[in-house]
Amino acid sequence: AQSVTQLGSHVSVSEGALVLLRCNYSSSVPPYLFWYVQYPNQGLQLLLKYTTGATLVKGINGFEAEFKKSETSFHLTKPSAHMSDAAEYFCAVSGGYQKVTFGIGTKLQVIP
Amino acid sequence: DAGVIQSPRHEVTEMGQEVTLRCKPISGHDYLFWYRQTMMRGLELLIYFNNNVPIDDSGMPEDRFSAKMPNASFSTLKIQPSEPRDSAVYFCASSTGPTDGANVLTFGAGSRLTVL
């Protein structure tokens, strides 16, 4: 079984401030982890993924995430928020099979 | 490639009517997924196919929902009869399958269904 919990359905940050979106996962096997972004009226797009190896994963648009097995976490960060980062972000987990389970999403608001 | 193509983008119908949503996956992608997105439940996997064969339909809510994939380039999700609680955005996604163990999905733009 696999599941994802995203802490905070809405997060607001000021432009230029640190972005931190939290994700905790549960998986009965070593997990593969993802962050996707959804802009209004669009489908989800892959930001980054963790498979094996380096625990700090860099993605597009300056985002990165760190896999912490001891904390079962995969938090998404960006040092400096930009107005264009306003979107909904989804954490997802896969147990190495085809099935991918998504969290409920976190809406990021960037305040000018 | 034009990506995953879904139609219609918006559908408004009345309770009891049949609804058919369509999806064209990316050429060469062997896996196709149907997800439903609502405010309350987020993204739920309804069903997925591998090489046109349904692999897991445990997420299909009830018998009113059915999905088919007659060939590698086309899939349908049908709701008959539709109910107001079916109102949601339905996403189709495709993939080549797990690479490095990770199954990366490419999503379509979604079909927004409103059942009155």
Angle at A92 between CA B115 and CA A74, to 5 degrees: 145
What chain A residue is nearest to B109 in terms of C-alpha separation?
A43
Q: What is the pLDDT of residue A41?
A: 85
CA atoms within a 13 Å half-sphere pointing along the CA-CB vector of B56: 15
The per-residue pLDDT for A109 is 97
pLDDT above 80 (res B99): no
Q: With an 8 Å Cβ cutoff, are A99 and B56 in contact?
A: yes
**In chain B, which residues have their Cβ closer than 8 Å to the Cβ of A102?**
35, 42-43
Span B57-71, average pLDDT: 94
**Greater pLDDT, B107 or B40:** B107
Non-local CB neighbours of A53 within 8 Å, separated by 6+ positions:
none
pLDDT at B1 over 70: no
Of the candidates A87, A77, A79, the one whose C-alpha atom is nearest the C-alpha of residue A37 is: A87
CA distance A16 to chain B (A): 29
User: Tokens 């401030």 appear where?
Assistant: A17
Given B31, B102, B110, which is nearest A32 (Cβ)?
B102
Specify the 3-state DSSP secondary structure of A60.
helix
Judged against a pLDDT cut of 90, whether residue B80 lies above it is answered with yes
3-state secondary structure of B39: coil
Successive 10-residue mean pLDDT values, chain A, 112 residues: 90 97 90 93 92 90 94 96 96 82 95 95
Give the mean model confidence (pLDDT) for residues B79-95: 96
Phi, psi of B82 (to 5 degrees): -80, 155
